[in-house]
Amino acid sequence: MRGIAAREFMKLCRSRWDGKSGAEVQRRPLAEIYQEYLAEFLANPHWLKFDPDTFRWLVQGPLVMGSTIACKPISLKNGYFELMWQQGDTAEVMFGFLHDGQHNQWKKIAQLTEEWASGQSGKRTKAVFFRTPELSKVPKANWKATGEIIEKAMQRNLELIPLTSEETARLYSARDLCNEALAGNADGYSGSEVLEFLVDELGNWRERILRVRAR
């Protein structure tokens, strides 16, 4: 017998309990399904630990789909930055997916960010790193001189985005829902339908990332 996802199994059980056949089952709104996935992630905090693959997927996928932003891989010898958003001649954003990192790594990131941004005259530029709730604050209080260099860059072009548990759950459940749709386990919704939904659902993240912070 072919395996079936737990969520799909529970849905079929509910339908049978209500006396419906498989053919009579109506697709529920995607927003309702998404909320169920979100609730599962919020109920399991250990699912919210830093997952670089999820952020790579977001940056290349639903956060740029349907926009004027081009996302491309970048290969710098230091290896700290992997992807770049380019919005015409107006903005460039570099993304890194470092987990925790030592003080010397963040110092190097700060220096590279400042060096890169100084050569992008006339453009809005920043380097972005996502920080899930379990990760320690950067810079740490005992980093002293290194911390000053990092903080200076953070006041200019380096942005570390601290995520709350709910924000992390929303982003992680988006990828989980999309993967389930691709596997045929999302109430009959296709991967493209789910992605179209997520582009709208997560649209505020694109604006948040591109926003110039007050200094």
**pLDDT tens digit sequence for 59-94:** 999 999 999 999 999 876 668 999 999 998 899 999
Q: What is the pLDDT, as a whole number, of residue 20?
A: 53
Name which of 201, 198, 200, 203 is nearest 186 in CA terms: 198
Q: Which residues contact 197 (CB under 8 A, 6 or more apart)?
A: 30, 31, 34
Q: What is the pTM of this model?
A: 0.85
Instruction: Let me know if 105 is exposed, middle or buried by CB neighbors in 10 A (0-12, 13-18, 19+).
Output: middle
Q: Are strands 83-87 and 158-162 parallel, antiparallel or unpaired?
A: unpaired
Domains of the chain, earliest start first: 6-43+166-199 (no CATH), 52-163 (3.40.1350.60)
Assess whether pLDDT exceeds 50 at residue 211. yes
Q: What is the pLDDT of residue 119?
A: 86
Q: Which of 173, 150, 192 is nearest to 51 (CA)?
A: 173
What pLDDT digit, counting tens, does each position of 110-164 carry? 999 999 998 887 888 999 999 999 999 999 999 988 999 999 999 999 999 999 9
At residue 85, the pLDDT reads 96
CA pair distance 93, 81, nearest whole angstrom:
10
pLDDT of amino acid 1: 27
For the stretch 23-67, pLDDT in tens is 445 789 999 999 999 999 999 999 999 999 999 999 999 999 999
Residue 121 is predicted with a pLDDT of 78
